[in-house]
Each structure stands twice: as structure tokens, then as C-alpha cells.
Amino acid sequence: MRNPNIIGGAVPRSQNRTTHLPRKVLLKKLWDYLGRNRLLLALAVVLSLTSSMLSLYGPKLSGQAINAIDLGTGQVDLDTVARCCGWMAAFYCCSAVLSYLLQFVMIRLSRRVSKQMRQDIFRNLTRLPVGFFDRHQTGDLISVITYDVDTVNQSLSSDFLHILNSCVTVTVSLSMMVSIAPRLLLIFLVTIPVTVVFTRWLASVVRPLFRKRSRALGELNGFVEEMLSGQKTIRAYGREEAVQEAFGEKNRAAAQAYTVAEANGTVTGPAVTFINNTSLSLVCMFGSILFLRGQVGLGDLSSFVQYSRRFSGPINEVANIFAEFQSAFAAAERVFSLIDAEPEPEDASDARVLTDVRGDVRLDHVDFAYEPDKPIIRDFSLHARPGELTAIVGPTGAGKTTIINLLMRFYDVDSGAVYVDGQDIRNLTRDSLRRAYTMVLQDTWLFHGTIYENIAYGKPDATMEDVIRVCKAARIHSYISRLPQGYDTVLSDNGTSISKGQKQLLTIARAMLLDAHMLILDEATSNVDTRTEEQIQEAMRELMAGKTCFVIAHRLSTIRSADHILVMRDGQVVEQGTHDSLMAENGFYRQLYQAQFDAVS
């Protein structure tokens, strides 16, 4: 959904581009997360090494048992065979138990990593500038926090375990084969390079496909989130079929991206299996020749064949999970693009805390544009004195809400300056500047909790008496009192159980409760009737006496008592003054006012 702070069409939505990180960088970042849990990681390594070593000693014992058979006489050394079989059973049982413990440890490790990733993502999201959310769909961000983190988590819990076991298995198997028949290893000098070259080539082809898959799924989630939040509008305009068609297109695109990525990714497994089976066939053939020449024993040959299978097995496993690797890398790119996204610039080292606020606000020849070639505000000047009510009016797209963004320093001006009490706000800490304001937007926001908790959101130590006082001033107390649980009534799903007007009154009461020195109302009374709006304006003037107020309003009849009215058009102030003086000028303001009056009539 579009950020309510941005005027229509001012900031275009980007295509949610993700920074493509080299594989080494991704692996390093993932390793950093694993390294935060060193004890579990060390335990996993020890369990993996021990389990693999116990399992890999079995073929050696098997070869010894076969060598205990005298092929010439047919006699069998039963003691040796029994001893070897007993140790094999013990080793395999211990290996199975350790493998189970290893799985349990890896689950805990991956769960901690995914928990930390989500924590880091959400922490950084709260530090990102407003412009970031203007360029990214909410559903796409949610997709990263849920689907992409889960994809990385799955890779850590299973694929990483396979890699760990594979490294141990390949190393031990190779050393065993060297000790048994080093000449047979020449076969692997051909097949292994072929496998490596093939998988590296396929990775360069497949990885972009998995990036496209993740991006398509994120766009699908963003579309679904936007459409579900606008169900009433969709039904009111009879656009159900059009929305279903649009969803079908995005769903087909996501399914197609998924199919193409998976189809290309799964090529690796069968191809590598074919190469490894070929090498195994060559081992058996040349090993038989060495046996017939008496250069290797039957038991040793059997052990070598088993180790060669153990050696090629991990390579097959890695090839089979190759697609999962590419999916995990694509997901990790999106995860780290959020974790590493540039937060809102920190305050200057010499930034001052805004204290003893009087509310003297001045914009001096301000220019601003969301995009370099599309200016929104040009040479804008404004002086709001302490205690004054300044109204900003004008047609849609004139730049009214952009002024508020600049006052709150959600964006910095391109040229000119904004001053509060004579201080350039770029020399003030953002936190102290924003705490000096109380803002009520047209787009209301309520969280899951009681009415009391929602109103006391910005002032957790507020008493019930304080909450009741502001609710009476906002003309919402009588409605709350009629509810079965009163102020303990729980609101859910952004307060969908109450009307928009009531939600607006609750947010206005929440703003009244804060002891801020400046108030911003961005079309905040658009969802209440005219009489209630007039009552709220009177209450606000009483509660905000001696404080600076900025009001953006479309209903010009409600700002007739404003101390100063700025009339904006195409990013510039075309008229300013009081209601009476502007009406007397018979200019653009009078046209707007009469147009509304005629519309109401």
C-alpha cells in the first residue's frame, strides 16, 4: 500500500530491486550468523566428524572380514569375521545415534539463526527512511521476512548438514582409497574435474532463475496484500473479475518462474549421478584387472569399491540439492538486502537536542523533489509563529503533504532550509525534532489492543483520567462508554469493528494526549461529519493553546478561523492570508471555496 505520507503519484514504486551479492560474500554473511552460536556449531562439527568416522570405518572392517577367507582352501577365520562384524554393528549403531543428535543440534542452530535474521531485518526496517517504504510493497517485505528467511533456514538445517557430512566423508574416503589402491584414483582425476566444471557452469545459469523466482513470489505477495486490504473498494466498483485476472497473471508468472528454475536446477543431480556411476564402473573394471594380476586383494578391492561409492555419494547429494542451494542463495540475497539496507542517516556528531520548544517554524526558499527531474516544491517560504494555526490548502498534488514531510524531516530539502525556533533542523537530532510534533494522518492506524492502550500509545504512563479527558475533548467518550467493556474493549485488525470516523476520533484523542509543542493534522478530520469536525477544531484550539498547529484540509469551511492560510498550487504558494482577506481578493482560494460550497449546495 502507498505510504500515507506521500502525495498521490509523487514517489513511484520501484521494482524492488535486490542487490546481487557474490557467492563468497553471501557465504561469509551466513557464516557470520552461524558464528554467533559457536557452541552449537562446534558441537555439530564434533558430532558430524565422529558420526562420519564411525560410519566410514565400516568398509575397512568389511574388507578385513573378506580377507579372512582363504580363497585357495576355502577356510574362514571365524574369529576375525566375528570381530569385524561386531565392531561394524557397534560403529554403525553409534553413528546412527550421533546422526540423530546432530539433526537435533542443527535444528536448534538453524532456528536461532532464522530468529536472529528476522530480528535484524525488523530492527533495520524500523530505522529505514520513509522513502524506502514508498518504493517497496509491504507484501514483498513480508515475503522476505517469512518465505525467504525460511528458505535460508531450511538450507542451514539440512543442506549445511549435508555439506558438513560430505566434506568429512570425501576426505576420509579419499585417504582410505589412497592407502588401499592409489592407482585406481587416477580415474577420479578425470571424472571429478568434469563434475566441478559442469556444476559451476550450471550455477551461473540457474542462479538468476532463482532470483527471478523469489522476485516473482514477492510481487505476488505484494499484490495479494494490496488487494485484500482493498476488498471493500474492489466490491464497490465490481472489479472482482478484473482482480482475479490480474492475480491469475501474477500467479502464472510466479508458477512459470518456479517451474523454469526448478527444471533447470534439477538437471544437476541426474547428470552428476551419471558421471559418478561411470567412474564407479571404471573402478570395478580396472580393479578387477588388478585383482587378477594379484596386485590387490579381494577384500581390499571390496573396501575400495565401497569407499568409492562413499566418495561419489556426497557429490551426488550435493548435486541433488544444487537447486536448493541456488534457491537459498537467491533468498539470502533478498534477506541481506534488507538487513544491509542503508538506514536513515545518523544525526551529525554535533547535532543538538531540541529543547524548550516555542513552536516558531520557518521554511526559507525551499526547493524539493522526490525525483531530480520532477520538482514538487519550488522556492517555498513559510513562517508559522508560536501559537498560530496555519492551514495549507490547495488541489491534489499541489505539495501540501510534502511540506509536512519536510517539517518532520522524513526528507531533507534540496535547497533552502527549515528552521524551528531559529535553528536549522539539519543541525537538530531527528528524535527530538519529531517528538516536538504530534501528527494525525488521514490514514488512521490502530493496533491490536484495548482502546486505552491505543490512545495511550505515545504516552504509556498516561492515567485513565488523562485518557478520558482527551476522549471527551475528541467527542468519542460517549461512544466508548456505551461499549460493553468500555476503555478495555479490544480492537483488532486495525480497528475494523468500528467506523472510519470513530477510528479517526481515537487517533485524534491519541494526539491530544501527547504534550507536544506543535501539532500536524493531515486531513485528519476527513472521515467525520462537519458538525463533529467543528467541535473537534474548537477542542483542539483549547488544548493546543499557545502551540503551533499545521492543518491540511480539503474542507475549507473548517479552517475559516485559521490565523494564516497558505494556498498552494503546483508546489508554490500562490496566495496567503486569513479567510476573509483571501475571499476579498477574489482569487484562487475564493474559487476553491465557492466550488466546495456549490458542490455542497
Summarised one tens digit per residue, pLDDT across range 543-574 is 666 778 888 877 777 778 788 888 888 777 78
The predicted model gives 400-422 an average pLDDT of 88
- 515 lies in some domain: yes
- 348 lies in some domain: no
- 80 lies in some domain: yes
Which of 303, 338, 373 terminates a domain? The answer is 338
pTM over 0.75: no
162, 103 in Cβ contact below 8 A? no
Q: Are residues 395 and 330 in the same domain?
A: no
Nearest to 188 by CA among 273, 271, 278: 278
Q: Are residues 332 and 369 in the same domain?
A: no
Q: Are residues 325 and 366 in the same domain?
A: no
For residue 409, the 8-state DSSP code is: T
The C-alpha atoms of residue 120 and residue 114 are separated, in whole angstroms, by 10
Q: Are residues 562 and 508 in the same domain?
A: yes
Q: Are residues 333 and 408 in the same domain?
A: no
Q: Share the mean pLDDT of the chain.
A: 78
- Per residue in 266-324, pLDDT (tens digit) is 776 677 767 767 776 777 777 777 767 766 666 666 777 777 777 766 665 665 566 66
CA 492 to each of CA 196, 446, 447: distance values in angstroms, whole numbers, following the listed order: 55, 8, 7
Q: Are residues 298 and 209 in the same domain?
A: yes
Which amino acid does the sequence have at 311?
F
Q: Are residues 261 and 122 in the same domain?
A: yes
- 466 lies in some domain: yes
pLDDT at 72: 57
Poorest-confidence range of 108-112, 148-152, 290-294, 423-427?
A: 290-294
- Per residue in 184-242, pLDDT (tens digit) is 766 776 767 777 677 777 777 777 887 788 778 778 877 877 777 666 567 666 677 88
Which of 307, 338, 369 terminates a domain? The answer is 338
Q: Are residues 150 and 216 in the same domain?
A: yes
| Domain of 476, in residue numbers | 361-600
- 178 lies in some domain: yes
Which of 338, 371, 402 terminates a domain? The answer is 338
Nearest to 170 by CA among 308, 352, 12, 13: 308
CA triplet 450, 122, 161: central angle to 5 degrees? 125
Q: Are residues 334 and 373 in the same domain?
A: no
The C-alpha atoms of residue 324 and residue 146 are separated, in whole angstroms, by 17
- 40 lies in some domain: yes
Q: Are residues 407 and 449 in the same domain?
A: yes
**β-pair partners for 393:** 567
- Per residue in 44-57, pLDDT (tens digit) is 888 888 887 787 77
Rg (CA), the chain: 35
Task: Quickly state the pLDDT bin for 532 (edges 50, 70, 90).
Answer: low
- 24 lies in some domain: no
- Per residue in 569-598, pLDDT (tens digit) is 877 778 888 888 988 888 888 888 888 765
The predicted model gives 402-409 an average pLDDT of 87
pLDDT at 76: 66
Write the CB contacts of 20 (distance below 8 Å, at least 6 apart in sequence). Answer: 211, 333
- Per residue in 420-429, pLDDT (tens digit) is 999 999 999 9
Q: Are residues 520 and 558 in the same domain?
A: yes
User: Which CATH number goes with the domain that contains 77?
Assistant: 1.20.1560.10
Q: Are residues 291 and 403 in the same domain?
A: no
The predicted model gives 462-477 an average pLDDT of 88
User: Which CATH number goes with the domain that contains 424?
Assistant: 3.40.50.300
Q: How many domains does the chain have?
A: 2
CA 301 to each of CA 179, 283, 291, 297: distance values in angstroms, whole numbers, following the listed order: 12, 9, 8, 6
The C-alpha atoms of residue 87 and residue 340 are separated, in whole angstroms, by 52
Task: Quickly state the pLDDT bin for 1 (edges 50, 70, 90).
Answer: very low
- 356 lies in some domain: no
The C-alpha atoms of residue 425 and residue 380 are separated, in whole angstroms, by 16
